[in-house]
Amino acid sequence: MSLGYAQKLSYREDVGTVGMSEIFDPPDLLQQKIEELALMIKKSKHLVAFTGAGISTSSGIPDFRGPKGVWTLQRAGKGLPEASLPFHRAMPSLTHMALVDLERAGILKFVISQNVDSLHLRSGIPREKLAELHGNSFREVCPACGIEYIRDFEVETIGMKETSRRCSDTKCGAKLKDSVLDWEDALPPKEMNSAEKHCRTADLVLCLGTSLQITPACNLPLKCIRNGGMIVIVNLQPTPKDKKASLVIHGLVDKVIAGVMNFLRLRIPPYIRIDFAQLSLSHSPKKNTYVKWTLRITSIHGPRAPLAFLKSVEISFPERPDLKAAFLDKQPFHLKRETARKRPFKMLLTFHFCDGCSCPSTSVEWPIDFQVTKGSFVQDKDEVLRSLKNAAGEASHGGQYAALEAKFLPRCNEGTNGNTTSEKRFKLT
């Protein structure tokens, strides 16, 4: 949950019950329930996860109704709680990544989320296996052709309003809209239909970190009961649906899920984040002895979009001491220089990552030759991302870099690169 999202919501007096005391099952009872849940998951043929804000609190994102939740503090006349990380840098929790492993193992069939933090997508849950009932603060949608755009920055509006960007499809070009619901907005039919379908099919719906108070979303898990399915609720506070559940566990979601994964002897994959930047070097086409050029480092989402992961860029020329180095600490990152046309050189760019990145920086070497006026290469994106993640996993830290594509044109050289900026590992014991 974004604090910005909470502030953007229309005011509403009645937000339901907030600030209830948290309940913790005794250790022996908790372990007994964890093992019972693990066996239920093992036997399940169609497991659906139904998630709320409680699975993201360990990611540094405050919830709504807990003792220090946003609505709890607002009702008490207090200020909003502080997030421990910038919203766009929040990393998936142990629970998020455990769900990824369950999905990859074929055990988890579908995820229904009331969260707008995009952490399920960041963790690796496929979009076609995810219903985001209340939207996604990082997703824009084209109302004309339906294309979705997942951003690495928080979209500035809520309530399905027009944003400042347009559809990139040359046959469309319509103004994009945000995908986050305000109080009076109806749940999106596409998301709701998928959620209802899977809840009706489910033999087990696992409710994680949700108060089950917001209608109509809170009634979705109940749809499995008609066909003999069961509901399990893992939450620190009582919910209105507890009496309908086959099992209620009062414990930290991460602790419960870690216990389940340990019992089932399943691993929790590490989270490795890759961010992208567009490099562009434009220059004059005239065949003069010296050439004026401009370097631009921009977002892959467009030249006006923020580069949310970059704090500053150092630029040096290791083989050319005659060229002055530069330090760019304000966006847009632009550098202008004049050099001899026939003399190639190498540019060393050191990207310093913003607060919230677990890796401080990485360096990229870019050879420049103005004599080369055509050519290109494009690498398989999935393969590049897989290699980057493997390299980060083996090194146990981020900072790896790889080029995805490059174009050499008469007046411009362009390239797109991926950088591992964050890495998070999880222990079951």
**Residues within the annotated binding site for Zn(2+)?**
142, 145, 167, 172
Which structure tokens are listed for 19?
């600030």
Which structure tokens are listed for 174?
């319509």
Strand partners, 140: 149, 178
Widest CA span in the chain: 81
Q: Are 132 and 157 in contact (CB under 8 A)?
A: no
Rounded CA separation 115/6 (Å):
12
Q: Are 153 and 308 in contact (CB under 8 A)?
A: yes
DSSP 127-148: GGGEEETT--TTEEE-TTT--E
What CA dihedral angle connects 74, 75, 78 and 80, to 10 degrees?
A: -20
Report the alpha-carbon angle 102-103-107, nearest 5. 65
Beta strand pairing call for 130-132 and 108-113: parallel
Rounded CA separation 65/292 (Å):
58
Which structure tokens are listed for 245?
């559940």
Residue reference for tokens 């990380």 = 85
Rounded CA separation 223/221 (Å):
5
Provide the annotated active-site residues: 134
Question: How many DSSP H helices and E strands does the chain contain?
Answer: 8, 20
Which structure tokens are listed for 216?
């109509």
Peptide bond into 332 cis (omega under 30): yes
